[in-house]
Every structure is written in C-alpha cells, then in structure tokens.
Amino acid sequence: MSPAERIADEVQRLVLEELSEGAGRPLHALAINSVEKPLIETVLRRNGGKQRRTALDLGISYNTLRLKMLKHGIKR
C-alpha cells in the first residue's frame, strides 16, 4: 500500500468515526478539513514558507492559499 493510500484509509477511518459520534457535518467537509490543514502546513514547510511556490505545488491560486491559511489559522 502506498503512503497516499494509507493516508486515504486513515482519513476514511477518522471521518467515519466522527460520523458515528454524531458530528452532523457533511462527509465531504469532514474529509477535506481533516487533510487540508496538515497538507498546506507540510507543503509550506517543504517550500521554506514560500507561499507562492506552495500555491503552485498545490494547484491553487495564491489568493486561495491565503484564504485557506486564514481559515485554518496557519501563520507564515
């Protein structure tokens, strides 16, 4: 199993666990929120905090990256 597949399995497990606890949030939002913040933080770290390069690597615009960083409380 590849690292990406292991991560996907873990996200599924966590999302289903939260659903069983009555989180009440849509499944898609739970899955995205569980991986988005750590993914952004990891890519930022790999890029030495360079936000434009991070946005490019993630395939999103710089402005979208900034909004996601604000949403998740990521400071750089």
Q: Which residue has the higher pLDDT, 76 or 54?
A: 54
Of the candidate ranges 2-6, 22-26, 70-74, the one whose mean pLDDT is the lowest: 22-26
> What integer pLDDT is reported at residue 20 of this predicted model?
67
44-71 mean pLDDT: 96
According to the CATH classification, is domain 3-72 in 3.30.70.270?
A: no
Q: pTM of whole model > 0.85?
A: no
Q: What is the dihedral of CA 8, 66, 72, 49, to 10 degrees?
A: 80
Of 33, 42, 14, 44, residue with least CA distance to 72:
33
Q: Please write the tens of the pLDDT for every residue from 18-57.
A: 766 665 667 777 778 778 988 999 999 999 999 999 999 9
Instruction: Give the per-residue pLDDT at 28.
Output: 76
Measure the CA–CA gap between 43 and 57, rounded to whole angstroms: 8
What value does the mean pLDDT take over residues 45-71?
Answer: 96
| Triad 38, 18, 65: Cα angle to 5° | 25
